[in-house]
Chain A
Amino acid sequence: MSGHSNWPEWVYIGVVVALMVWVGAEAWEAERLVDHIPADAETIKVTGQQWFWSFEHEDGTKEIGELHVEVGKAYKFEIMSKDVNHSFNIHDYVVLMDAIPGRVNTVWFAPTEPGTHDIQCREYCGLIHYNMRGTLIVEEPSS
């Protein structure tokens, strides 16, 4: 049990700790970059309820199940829920944030090219959770 030198284990632990420090630093830097919302981001209010998404743009336009945005702008989602927890997710743009009743959570993104992408709910919310889906439509800039 003892009587042998243990230096390989110490070297090994040093390597593991160094790797973890590296992971932590890299993750911290990436999180810092994606966390900060650009000052001129347009706000879109996202409301989740059993079992669909509705959206309200800054100019008052409302949409259900579909969301139209334009290339070249930054959008800030303010995510709310009317009943139970949901999770607003546009996987293609790596956008994910929970919709928690009683809270407003924010996440932002800036679409880069026109196209359509899936919107889905990623937090279990009951009977039709599996089909709580929507569509993101990214359009050319209007002006």
Chain B
Amino acid sequence: MKKLVGLFLVLAVTVLIPAVDLAFAAGDEPGEYLDRRVIIWNLFYRLMTVGFTVGAVVSGTIIWQCWRFRESHPKAKPTPYEGTDW
């Protein structure tokens, strides 16, 4: 197990260092004629797609468990802690 952790650490570092290098070495080469609207709004819509998907999962989970684990639910059963001094 320890060896595995070490291996992953080494792998992570070997992946990270070039990525960080690349990030900080983004040079001053002149850019092309790009439409900044396209780039920025595309990024926005991609993030929102993921955001709303994750949001649906999280809110869905919360709403479902509020419905399922409410005390008036037919299948509600006392938790093991009830009646104890937890």
Q: Report A-B touching, CB under 8 Å.
A: yes
Bound CA–CA A140/B50 (angstroms): 39
Asked whether B39 lies within 8 Å of A38 as measured between CB atoms, the reply is no
- Choose, from A26-34, A50-58, A62-70, the stretch at the interface: A26-34
Asked whether A93 lies within 8 Å of B30 as measured between CB atoms, the reply is no
With known contacts A26-B43, A26-B47, A94-B40, A34–B30 Cβ distance under 8 A: no
What residues of chain B lie closer than 8 Å to A112, measured between beta carbons?
A: 35
Choose one: B40, B47, B54; the contact of A34 (CB below 8 Å): B40
Choose one: B30, B35, B50; the contact of A36 (CB below 8 Å): B30
Residue B1 is within 8 A (CB to CB) of chain A in the complex = no
Q: Which residue of A lies closest to B28 (CB)?
A: A36
With known contacts A28-B23, A95-B36, A35–B41 Cβ distance under 8 A: no
B: interface residue count bin: 20 to 34
Choose one: B34, B41, B54; the contact of A33 (CB below 8 Å): B34
Interface majority SS on A: helix, strand, loop or mixed?
helix
Residues of B participating in the A interface, judged by any CB pair closer than 8 Å: 23, 26, 28-37, 39-43, 46-47, 50, 54
A-B contact pairs, 24 of them (CB 8 A): A19-B50, A19-B54, A23-B47, A27-B43, A28-B23, A30-B39, A30-B43, A32-B26, A33-B34, A34-B31, A34-B34, A34-B36, A34-B40, A35-B26, A36-B28, A37-B30, A37-B31, A38-B31, A39-B30, A93-B37, A94-B36, A94-B41, A95-B36, A110-B33
What residues of chain B lie closer than 8 Å to A27, measured between beta carbons?
A: 43
Interface majority SS on B: helix, strand, loop or mixed?
helix
Shortest distance in angstroms between B11's beta carbon and chain A's nearest beta carbon? Answer: 15
| Most-contacted residue by chain B among A37, A39, A74, A94 (CB, 10 A) | A94
Choose one: B33, B36, B42, B43; the contact of A93 (CB below 8 Å): B36
Bound CA–CA A95/B41 (angstroms): 12
What residues of chain A lie closer than 8 Å to B30, measured between beta carbons?
A: 36-39
